[in-house]
Every structure is written in structure tokens, then in C-alpha cells.
Amino acid sequence: MPPAGGADRRQFYINGQWREAVDPELFTIAEAATERPLGVAAMGGPSEIGEAVLAARAALDNGPWGRSTPHERAETMRRFADSLERRGESTARLVSQQNGMIWPLSIISNAAAPVAILRSMAELAEARTFETRRPSKKGHTIVRQEPVGVVGAIVAWNYPQLLAMAKIAPALAAGCTIVLKPAPETALDAYVLGEAAEDAGLPPGVLNIVAGGVRAGEALVAHPGVDKIAFTGSTAAGQAIGEAAGRSLKRVSLELGGKSAAVVLPDADLDVFARSLDDAVFKNGGQTCTTNSRILVPHGRSQEVLDVLAAYVDDLAMGDPLDDAVTLGPMVSDQHRERVRNYIRLGESEGFQLVRGGAEPPDGLTRGWFVSPTIFGGVDNNSRLAQEEIFGPVISVIPYESEDEAVRIANDTVFGLGGVVFTEDHEHGLDIASRIRSGTMGINYFSMDMGSPFGGVKHSGIGREFGPEALDYYLEYRSIYV
């Protein structure tokens, strides 16, 4: 049974049981909008990670999961989805309290979407052919798609349930077992996954959950019993994980940062542009890896675009993310708020046009980790403001002279995750989009499609999540010559 004690999570979910932490480090999670303590979570280390990996290995090598059929896995996944669905509203509420995500987005991202991903992957598991026979010169070859093994899943705090399920669901469909390490900032909601797994009858050891910080993450990446690491987080952390995994030749999927560009072409409809801002630019207060934080505009339309952005920001309602009237919540923590504010101060010191916002606290919000949505005009693409991922509601408007220059500026970044082209000529927009090196692009809007592959190029990552393609990253091909 899951632990009692309100929001506190002082136990880990390992091998189908709730295990007491031995001499744990305790992490206090505060409510982002009020700064009041919300709960306490035990942070695991190498010992707890080692125990979880051994449980996952045993479930794969010796337990029923390792011998399960795709149909059996799909049935278990559907029960898991049903169990999560019953907990969806309370889970979404808890996530909003922890990271400041507004309620309408949280109920989609942390309740509906994880359930939909599980059910979709269950269908894919049943529909996929995991074994084929091919004629060869001396007989035939059996080609099997087998689980990659034990998966270490490390997820960020900004969309915790969605990011976790983006790894758990394809891993389960492939027949893998999992050790999930959620971020400390959203450790409380992570264990709902353990409760739902227990309720759904997942065999012991198939899903293990150990919240923790850097020590736990390093232990998971380095553990010889882990076959693959699936990570979502910062590019710097992803580089360190890729380097460590490479030394032991572990498989990796890395979904990392971005500094995406929205290219406003001369013929763009600014009403369409304005309607896209919720999803493409300000989603989750900018705490989204695909945020189009660089907006490229023709010199002749710069003021028009700045006016649209200013009007949008003026209409935002900041406050408690659980209030239906609120359209912009706080940052996840005081530390992250100060990081975002420092970038705003940097933009101010570099002399860019401050159209809205600034580093000062928003009026009337004396509690909570709020940052004023900030628009800078006339930004130089070579500046740190335009080159580094801020992960907050800070937007750089960058003028350009020609479409070729716009494409050059859009590509002048180490990242390649998202982007949008705004134009009334869709075919021309598609041509411009095809010249921008990015894993995903939109024409006149940006909204992720869970049925299609998502991921980045360059420093934005390796591998893809969502859609049928996600399953490929949890399988190994084996040939048997007969």
C-alpha cells in the first residue's frame, strides 16, 4: 500500500513495495504561488538506485514481464491507464502547486495526455510485428525486435507526468523494465505513478521510482545493470549523461533545450500570430523547451509585432495557477526565478528596448515566484539573451532585412528543437520551414502532436519521443540465421 501522511513522500517505490529511506536526505517542496511548504520527499542516492536497478533486472530476466506477450503487456498498460485516469484531477492539481503550471494546461499535460500515451502505446504493442523471417542464401533469417533492457528514465519538473509517461509507455510496450528518477521539485506527484502501477497489477520490479538529485542521476547513468538512459532536461546535463553513457556504451535518448525562432514573414497575418502566443511562445510561463523565445520580424513590421506582443502581455492575468481566471503562473522555485530575472537584468544592461516587464516583481504579487512577462525589442542575435535558453517568460524580438537573413538568424544557434513560420502563403512557409534546421516546425501555429515523433537536432538532443517511432528507441534488433 502507498504511504500515508498527506503530501509527504518519505518512501520509495521499489520492486512493487513502498520502501523506507535509510538515512535519507529530505527535500521540502514549497507551493510555487505562495511559497508555503507543500510536502517533504526523501531523496535517494546510489544505494536506493542500486536496489531499484536490481529489481528491474530481476523482473526482466526472471519475472513474468520478461516472458510476456505484446497482448499481455497491452492489457496491463490499459489497466495502468485506467488507474491513472481515476487519479488525474488530483495529480494535475498537485503538479500545478509544485511547478506553477496553470490549471487548464496541467489537466491536459499531467492527467489526460499520460493516459492517452499509455493507451496509444498499448495499441501499438498489439499491432506491431516483433518478429519476421527473411530468405537468405543458405536458408532464412529470423529478425526479432527485443526489449533494449532496463531503462533509466530521468525527467524534468516542467511537465512531470507527461515527460515520465513519454518514457514509461514505450518502454512497457517494448517489454522493458524501468527505474524512474523524477526531479526533486516535482517529486510528490511522481509517486502517484507507483500507486497506479500497484493498483493496475504491474508485476513487481517493472516500474521503480526513486526521487533524487544529481547523485541519484549519476548513479543511475553509471549503473552497469542499466541498458538505456532516457533523459529530458537541460543541454548541459544531457551532455554529461551522454558522455558518461558513452563510456559504457549505453543507449541514450536525450530531449534537451531549445532557443526556437518564430519567423514572421512580411505577409504574415498578425491576428493569427497573436492567437498562437499561448502555445508557441508563453506556454507554461516559458518553462517549455519548445518556447519560441526569438521572434524574427521584418524591419518594416517590427513595431506592429511589438504592439501585438505588448497587448498580449497586458491581458495576461498572473496569480494562483489553480484559479481558472489566471493565464500566467509562477516559476517553479526561487532559484529559477532569480535565474530568469538575471537574464532580464542582462538584457536591460545591454541596452535593448524594454517593451514590457522587467526584473522587478510584478505589482501586487508579494508572495510566490512570479516573473513579469518581458519583451525586448531590437535584440542582437549574437547576444546571450538571444543565444541562451532562459526558460521563462522573456522574449527577444530580432529584426531582419531579407528572408535569407531570417533563415540564417533562425539557424544561428546551437539548438534545433522547434520553430514557427507565420505567412499567408502556406507553400512558401513550408519552403522556409524546410530551410530551418530543427526537429519540429509549425506553419502559423506550434502545438505538439502526440501521434508524431518529437525531438531535436544539434544541442537539442538525440532520439525521438511520441508516435510509433518512439517504440524504436526501446528495442534492439537481433538476427538468428536458420
β-pairing verdict for 261-264 and 419-422: parallel
Angstrom distance (rounded) from CA 162 to CA 309: 29
Q: 3-class DSSP state for residue 133?
A: strand
Active site residue 255: yes
Lookup: cell for 193: 505513478
Residue 145's region, left for phi above 0, alpha for psi from -120 to 50, else beta, is beta
Q: Which of 48, 51, 195, 255 is catalytic?
A: 255
How is the beta sheet containing 374-377 ordered, strand by strand?
353-356, 374-377, 394-400, 294-298, 261-264, 419-422, 442-443
Q: How far is CA 358 from the centre of its chain?
A: 27
Strand partners, 475: 147
3-state helix, strand, coil in the chain (%, to 5): 45, 20, 35
E strands within 87-203?
131-136, 139-147, 150-154, 177-181
Angstrom distance (rounded) from CA 416 to CA 291: 12
Q: How far is CA 445 from CA 95, 129, 215, 480, in A?
A: 26, 35, 39, 47
How is the beta sheet containing 139-147 ordered, strand by strand?
131-136, 139-147, 475-481
Angstrom distance (rounded) from CA 331 to CA 309: 20
Q: How far is CA 181 from CA 39, 194, 216, 267, 348, in A?
A: 18, 12, 8, 47, 38
Active site residues: 255
